[in-house]
Structure 1
Amino acid sequence: MVATGILVTLVVAAVASLFMAWAIGAGSSGSTPFAPAVGANAISIMRAGFLVGILGFAGAVLQGANVTEAVGNELVVGSVLTATASIVALLTAAALVAVGVFTGYPIATAFTVTGAVVGVGLANGGAPAWSKYQVILSLWVLTPFVGGGIAYGTARLLRSESVSERIAVPVLAGIVGFLVANIQFALLGPAEAGGMSLAGYAASFLPTVTVGGVDAGTIAIALAFAALTASAVSFDMRDPAAGQRHFLLVLGGLVAFSAGGSQVGLAIGPLVPLLDAVTVPLVVVLAGGGVGLLAGSWTGAPRMIKALSQDYSSLGPRRSIAAMIPSFAIAQAAVALGVPVSFNEIIVSAIIGSGYAAGGSGVSREKMFKTALAWVGSLVLAFGLSYGVFLGVDSLL
């Protein structure tokens, strides 16, 4: 009977996790990566939803471990995420995110899940993880300024008459290529170390030369990949309109991949403390979460894609490119640090920054205010609800 009860509890927790994954896929990870591309008419809404689901699944499997471990083990001090606590946290957060999906307002998933997990953890006797909170809060606060600032500067560069687009766009592509060469993939190295980058993996076959504590081979290969990427985009920019559109679609794919690597941890992270009771590898759980993200992207994301692409700013290809580059960089930084981050916050901030580069045209201040209020409110509400609901459920058990 005891074993049956544990199994039933784990199944309920898994179902709650899948529901959360669906809500995230329908919301932040499913809608935000291609929203600027849709706004720039580079891809249709339905095609964007389809692609983001596939790429999000790949990101979940290849890059999802860091954030998953952080959400499951680092938000509260103590072994307090029991099956009941995980179920309460997941259902509370998923309900709030689902409300955002169906009302058309982007609820910050990272805020919601973090608030819910911390709420149930503290209600169950855990202690605050202040050092982790400092890292998380720093990233959350800096994201609008860094992402919006870089998007603003990039958009101004692309709009400048003194700089040719045939030069600026390939240079930006080279920077993105350098970043891609240095992001880590779980399949290329030890999981406990977060995997290995493409440049690092290639450099492992070369003689080791260290300069200032840095592997010179890794940097050289990353620079070569950046040069190759810039050359390819430069060739494509023979037709500037087509070249910008193709580059924007690639950026959307990279952000979608990064979204899967980050957001899957928000869905399945609370399950991590429960895995000790079963012999299920983490990669299998990541794949399950990836399936949930994919389902959400295919069934619920189009509504939010429309809201972000049309309601926030009327973007052209240049401003869309400017929005996507910092979004990709910040997303990968968050994945590497194991910090839960809101893709709504990242993308919306970048969209606003690139919009202001054109004098703020198309940027709705009312929508900005309501979105920021929804972000803060989701954190506070998720914390309060999960704390109260857990205490109520715990008193009945």
Structure 2
Amino acid sequence: MAWAIGAGSSGATPFAPAVGANAISVMRAGFVVGLLGLAGAVLQGQNVTEAVGTELVVGQPLTATAATIGLLTAAGLVAIGVFTGYPIATAFTATGAVIGVGIALGGGPAWAKYQEIAALWVLTPFVGGGTAYATARLLRDERYPERVVVPLLAAVVGVIVANIEFALLGSADGSASVAATVGEATDLDAVAGDLVGVALVSLAIGVASAAVLAREMREDADAAQRHFLLALGVLVAFSAGGSQVGLAIGPLVPLLDDVSLPLWALLVGGGVGLLVGSWTGAPRMIKALAQDYSSLGPRRSIAALIPSFAIAQVAVAFGVPVSFNEIIVSAIVGSGYAAGGSGVSRRKMGYTVFAWAGSLTLAFAVSYGVFLAVQAVL
């Protein structure tokens, strides 16, 4: 399952806009995204992993047989999408498969968690696509010079980075953000309060990010935009690892006590699976997203990646499984329509939306039916 996700969702989508803008080659993107996905899985994968493993069904933990059937079902459907060139929504597929086997096992629906998941899934195309559209229009507006707008966007990204949480910065019981850690280390939280301290550190990081990019923009605007685009690809790839690894290894969480395996070891194993998938299978999907969905330039690619990064980090923070194909494709289309829809393949998008809608239902039905059949035989 981790291989299928690395080859498709987390491996292909983060750098697809950068490849479409000719900022990085297809093969180099696949190599880099694998390493970043591994890092994200280890440093940020805990929340989504635990949610997929323990929060989708109530009253009945997954057994080894149920986890096996759920993962085989989800991995098979995702692999079909990889080899046919149509991105299956990985979170839809994995979530449907886990719920299917969990219900067949005798568990009950976790309605509160489903509402949280559905809200993010429904809002993602509108928020991500809308933000990408607005950002792309802003970058195209001649009234606002790029040497001002691009550094301001870098400041926004810097503030987000300052507030994402990493396992290495937290205590044994949780993670912490860069802003919170610096605020504590410099006693800003003691002097001004926790929230004010975090806000001041975040603002400082945002200003520093804007200053660095503003300097580059003065020297070479085109090169500065490419560097910013690649930095965004790095952040999205890291976020993909933190989010998507849970879809692969989450069903194994209820089994950890039986084999005396710590969660961090499972995260490392899942991260390695993402890495191998990115290196061996991602180039095909990178090409499909970069060239088939929209002809992207650097400005539209930047517009697509900023909301993608923000949405991914929201999902990681709340432990909600989310499809990176849905995030990136929505943002790509939004930025494409900012240029009048040029290069956006409506036919391809129609097939993709149909695949998204059908993947959740199909995964649920197949995993539910297969588990009942296996249970009857055994």
Q: Shorter-chain TM-score: which interval?
A: over 0.9
Aligned to 2:208: 228
Gap regions ≥5 residues in structure 1? 1-19
Aligned to 2:66: 85
Aligned to 1:217: 197
Residue pair 1:37, 1:317 contacting (<8 A) in 2 also? yes
Aligned to 1:285: 266
Q: Which amino acid counterpart does residue 201 of structure 2 have in structure 1?
A: I
Residue pair 2:60, 2:105 contacting (<8 A) in 1 also? no
Aligned to 2:115: 134
Correspondence for 2:230 among 241, 249, 260: 249
Residue pair 1:206, 1:217 contacting (<8 A) in 2 also? no
Aligned to 1:356: 337
Aligned to 2:161: 180
Q: Which amino acid counterpart does residue 35 of structure 2 have in structure 1?
A: I
Aligned to 1:8: none
CA shift, 1:191, in A, is: 5.1
CA shift, 1:276, in A, is: 1.1
Cα distance per residue 1:105-156 (max 9 Å; x no partner):
0000000000000000000000000000000000000000000000000000
Does 1:196 find its partner at 2:180?
A: no
CA–CA distance in 2 between the matches of 1:283 and 1:299?
24
Does 1:271 find its partner at 2:262?
A: no
CA–CA distance in 2 between the matches of 1:205 and 1:43?
38
Correspondence for 2:301 among 311, 314, 320: 320
CA–CA distance in 2 between the matches of 1:71 and 1:330?
18
* Change over 3 Å in CA distance of 1:191–1:376 after alignment to 2: farther
CA shift, 1:209, in A, is: 4.5
Does 1:150 find its partner at 2:131?
A: yes
CA–CA distance in 2 between the matches of 1:219 and 1:155?
27
Percent identity among equivalent residues? 72
Residue pair 2:52, 2:246 contacting (<8 A) in 1 also? yes
Aligned to 1:9: none
Q: Which amino acid counterpart does residue 127 of structure 2 have in structure 1?
A: V
Correspondence for 1:56 among 37, 40, 59: 37
CA shift, 1:79, in A, is: 2.6
CA–CA distance in 1 between the matches of 2:278 and 2:329?
18
CA–CA distance in 2 between the matches of 1:282 and 1:187?
14
Cα distance per residue 1:302-347 (max 9 Å; x no partner):
0000000000000000000000000000000000000000000000
Correspondence for 2:19 among 34, 38, 43: 38
CA–CA distance in 1 between the matches of 2:214 and 2:243?
31
Aligned to 1:168: 149
Residue pair 1:119, 1:383 contacting (<8 A) in 2 also? yes
Choose 255-264 or 75-84, whichever is displaced more.
75-84
Aligned to 1:375: 356
Aligned to 2:91: 110
Aligned to 1:13: none
CA–CA distance in 1 between the matches of 2:173 and 2:270?
20
CA–CA distance in 2 between the matches of 1:385 and 1:26?
22
CA shift, 1:295, in A, is: 0.1
SS of 2:238 mapped into structure 1 = helix
CA shift, 1:371, in A, is: 0.3
Residue pair 1:35, 1:308 contacting (<8 A) in 2 also? yes
Does 1:307 find its partner at 2:315?
A: no
CA–CA distance in 2 between the matches of 1:388 and 1:231?
57
Residue pair 1:74, 1:129 contacting (<8 A) in 2 also? yes
Correspondence for 1:343 among 303, 321, 324: 324
Aligned to 2:47: 66
Per the normalisation by structure 1, the TM-score is: 0.93
Q: Which amino acid counterpart does residue 232 of structure 1 have in structure 2?
A: V
Gap regions ≥5 residues in structure 2? none
CA–CA distance in 2 between the matches of 1:142 and 1:58?
28
CA–CA distance in 1 between the matches of 2:64 and 2:167?
27
Residue pair 1:209, 1:215 contacting (<8 A) in 2 also? no
Q: Which amino acid counterpart does residue 11 of structure 2 have in structure 1?
A: G
Residue pair 2:19, 2:290 contacting (<8 A) in 1 also? yes
CA–CA distance in 1 between the matches of 2:325 and 2:118?
16
Residue pair 2:14, 2:328 contacting (<8 A) in 1 also? yes
CA shift, 1:210, in A, is: 7.8
